[in-house]
Structure 1
Amino acid sequence: MLHYTGEMPATGRYAFKEGVILSYIDKAATGQAAAGPAQARGAEASELLDRVIASLEEDKAEDIAVMDIRGRSAMADYMVVCSGRSARQVTSIAEKLADRLKLRFHFTPRMEGRESGDWVLIDAGDVIVHVFRPEVREFYQLEKMWQGGGSEAPAGSSAGG
C-alpha cells in the first residue's frame, strides 16, 4: 500500500512510503500535472489567501497573522496563523475553512490535528493555515520562527501577490 508523504524538494517529484522504503516518482517523466492543490486547479495564491482570510474572519478567528514565505519555503507562498478561543472553536474554524475551499476551488485541503483541537494545520497548497488555541500558539510561537528576515502581510491583503 502506498501512502503519499508530500512533495519532495526536487521539483516535480513525489515520495511514497512503502513500508520503510521511499519510492520516488518523477512527474515530468510520467507526464503527470504539476503538484499541489493550488496548481492543479489553477488558482492564484493571492486569491486563495483572500478566501482563507475571509473565512477566518467570518468564523471570528482572532489575531490573524499572514506571513509571506515566498523564497523562504518551497512548501507554500503564505502562512496564516490565527487563534480560536476554545478547542471547539479551533476545530470549527478549520472544518469550515476546509469546506469553503472545497466548494470554491474544488479540492479538499489536507488537515492535521482536528481531533485534539489545540492546533489544527490546514494545507491548502500555496497557503498553509495554523489554527491554535491561544495558549498553544504562545507556546510554539510560529510567527517568531517565520518572521525572521521576511515580510509579514497584514490580514485582509493579498500581500502584494
Structure 2
Amino acid sequence: MSLETKLKAALATLEDYKAQQISVIPLAGKATFADYMIVVSGTSTTHTRSIAQGLEKHLKSEVFSIEGQQESSWICVDLSQIIVHIFLPEKRALYNLEKLWSHTFIL
C-alpha cells in the first residue's frame, strides 16, 4: 500500500470511528521515524480502544505495533510510515504533541 493510500485509509477509519480533533503532522524531512504523525482524541478509554481496534481491523497488514491499550488514555498505533496517537483529552493537553512538533506544518 502506498503512503498516500495508507494515510487516506487511516484518516477514513479515524473518521468512521468518530475520532475527534484529528491533526495530521507531516514529518518527512524533519524526522526519520515516520513520514506522518496523526494525533486524535477519544471521549473515553473505551472509545480510544475502539479507535485503535478499528485501525487494526481495517489496516491489519499495515499495523506494525500497538502500545498503551491496557491503560487506554494514550494509545500509539505504528503503521510504519505513519504513527497514530490516540489520546483522552486530558492526556492530549498534557503532552501537547502538536506544540512539540509546531516547527512542522500541521494539516
Q: Which aligned segments of 4 or more residues in structure 1 are displaced greater than 4 angstroms?
A: none
Aligned to 1:93, what secondary structure does the other structure show?
helix
Paired with 1:140 and 1:134, the residues of 2 have a C-alpha distance of 10
Measured after TM superposition, the shift of residue 107 of structure 1 is: 4.0
Larger RCO (alpha carbons 8 Å, 6+ apart): 2
Paired with 2:99 and 2:106, the residues of 1 have a C-alpha distance of 11
Whether contact under 8 Å (1:113, 1:120) holds in the other structure is yes
Whether contact under 8 Å (1:49, 1:127) holds in the other structure is yes
- State the percentage of identical aligned residues: 36
Matched, 1:136 2:91: yes
Extract unaligned runs of 5+ from structure 1. 1-42, 154-161
Change (3 A) 1:63 1:145: same
Q: Which has the larger radius of gyration?
A: 1
Extract unaligned runs of 5+ from structure 2. none
Q: What TM-score do the two structures reach when normalised by structure 1?
A: 0.64
Aligned to 2:85, what secondary structure does the other structure show?
strand
Q: What TM-score do the two structures reach when normalised by structure 2?
A: 0.95
Greater CA drift, 107-116 or 126-135: 107-116
Aligned to 1:152, what secondary structure does the other structure show?
coil
Matched, 1:99 2:57: yes
